[in-house]
Structures are given as C-alpha cells and as structure tokens.
Homo-oligomer: A and B are copies of this chain.
Amino acid sequence: MEHCNKEFAVGIDIGGTNTDIGLVNAQGNCLSRANLPTSKYDDVEIYVDDLANEIRKLLSDNNLSIEDIAGVGIGAPNGNFYTGSIDYAPNLKFKGRILLKEMMETRLHTHVELTNDANAAALGEKVYGGAKAMNDFILITLGTGVGSGIYINGQMVYGHDGFAGELGHAILYPNGRTCSCGRAGCLEEYASARGIIQTYKELCSEKGITYDEGVTCKELTAMADGGDATAQKTWEITARHLALALSNAVTFSSPEAIFLMGGPVRAGHWLLEPLKRYFDEFNLSIFKGKTKILTSQLPANNAAILGAAALVVNK
C-alpha cells in the first residue's frame, strides 16, 4: 500500500443531524474539531460552501494550509467510493445523487475521497485501530441503523458497484419485523438501537410490564446493571440475533475478527458475553473458536473522523 508522506489529513463524518470535521495527524490523533448542523441545510451548494469554509478555518486555526494535508476523507450515509457521490440517502435532506467528492475538490483544490460511514469506520480500524495486522475482518456499526465494513485479502470490499457491505440488511428472519428498507426480517430491525428498544417493548408487553415509550439503549444498560431482568433479557435476545447474523457472515469470508462499534456496544458484558456464547454455538463446526469478537479500538468520539481521514492517508 502506498502511503502519503503528508502528516495531516481532514476527516469528515456526515450524519443526518451533524457533520463532524476533524484534523488528524499521522499517529491517528484528532488534534482539533469543528462541526456543522447538517439538518439545518436545505441547499446542498450552501452546505458544501460552508463545509469548505469550516475546513479552511480549522486549518488556519492550526497554522496549516490546504497544501499541508494529504486530503479530505468523507464518510457519509450511502456514500459510494467508486463514484464519490452520496446516492439517495434516506437520512439526509439533500435528495438524489450528490457528487460531493467533485464539489469538494472544486472548492478546496485537494484530494478528496468519500465512502459510506461503516466502510470509513472499518478503514479507521485497519489504519489506526485494532485491525492493523489483519487482512480479513468485518466491522459492524450499531446505532440508528446497522452498518458494516468488510476487509478481505487486505482490501476493503466495495463490490462491483461500490455498495457492498450492507450486512444490516441481510435477512435474518424471512417473516420477521418490517424493515425501514421495505423488506422484512433484516438484522437492522433487531440490532440497531431502534430494534433493541423494540425487543424490550415486546418483552414488556408479553410480561404485562409498563414501560417508558422514550426508553434508550443507554437506559436499558443502566437498568440491566440495576438488576432489571427484562432489560438483561433484552440484551441477551439482541446478542442472539446478532450472533446468528455474524455466524452467517463467517460462512462467507471466515474473518480473523469481527469488531463492534457504536452506542449499543456500551452495554458491555450484557451484550458481549451472550454474543460470544451464541456465536460459538451458531458457528459451523469448522469455524468454531476461530473468529474473535472484539470491540473497536478507536476512540468512540473520534472513530468516524479517523476512519474518514484514513481514506486519504491510505492513498
């Protein structure tokens, strides 16, 4: 792999609500940050103008110019590495196909790369995190949705069209919960924050327990810590769903490790202990005891920015 000899890079994590921008050094430390409220912008041209200005400001605040950075890496929902575009992202106000790589290069005159947020996270894990020495691994992001980034033979898997690695939409239960994608039974409906809360509510309904409609995964973890059996059971059931999906992924690529990242992972042993147990139970015998289940070794608050920055550092 060819490495750029410029020490700094800018990483951008575009989310539906916020856009986080970070200046990253060669050691994978995020030196300085800025952000933009994505959801406040209706016009993508104005958004990109402001994004470019924020980057210039971030650089000048750190006594750097655009020539001092290897480039700008962007992780975005529905981001396509091959085309450099964000294509029909359901969580963004900007509709249709946004040629963001090109729009940013025109404004900043530096190298820009773009991929989807989960692929960026996997790249971050490879370049700065726990997967440095691995050629075959999968990273799963649990959050509003479930995303995945996949490495095989030391390379990111983009597929023939740039959209590979959508394990959140592998169908686990063909007659299962209706998914936001319009199909049924996708992993995302069971292992995203929304899916986990849904499991909790179903358990409460079965047991005739009243629950707070606005309960969060963070609260479910606190409740499990406090001895709440329904919250504990929610994490166990979630682990079982996720283990089934991960054992299916192993039949595909037999990775050395599967990394987990995102809010629900903070449930810690409530999720991870049963996950490892069910994963071992569900794995085909030739795979048992081989693939490690690990949590991301990137700092949670900067993981997405580091992953995005790695896109240009690695070029």
Contacts and interface: CB of A to CB of B under 8 A. Distances in A.
Interface string A166-179: 11011111100000
A170 B252 CA distance: 8
Contacts of A253: 150, 157, 159, 164, 252
A41 B121 CA distance: 52
Given A152-B152, A171-B244, A252-B167, A160 B290 contact: yes
A285 B169 CA distance: 11
Contacts of A91: none
Interface residues of A, number: 47
Contacts of A150: 252-253
A255 interface: yes
A285 B182 contact: yes
Nearest to A252: B252
A249 interface: yes
B157 A255 contact: no
A251 interface: yes
A265 to B, nearest CB: 21
A73 interface: no
Interface string A135-147: 1100000000000
A113 B225 CA distance: 54
Given A160-B254, A290-B161, A181 B285 contact: yes
Contacts of A254: 158-166
A248 B170 contact: yes
Interface string A233-276: 00000000000100111011111100000000000000000000
A202 to B, nearest CB: 17
Interface string A286-299: 11001100000000
A314 interface: no
A102 interface: no
A291 B159 CA distance: 10
Contacts of A164: 136, 252-254
Identify the 4 closest CB pairs spanning chains A and B, nearest first.
A159-B254, A164-B254, A160-B256, A166-B251
Interface of A: 78, 87-88, 134-136, 150, 152-153, 155, 157-167, 169-174, 181-183, 244, 247-249, 251-256, 282, 284-287, 290-291
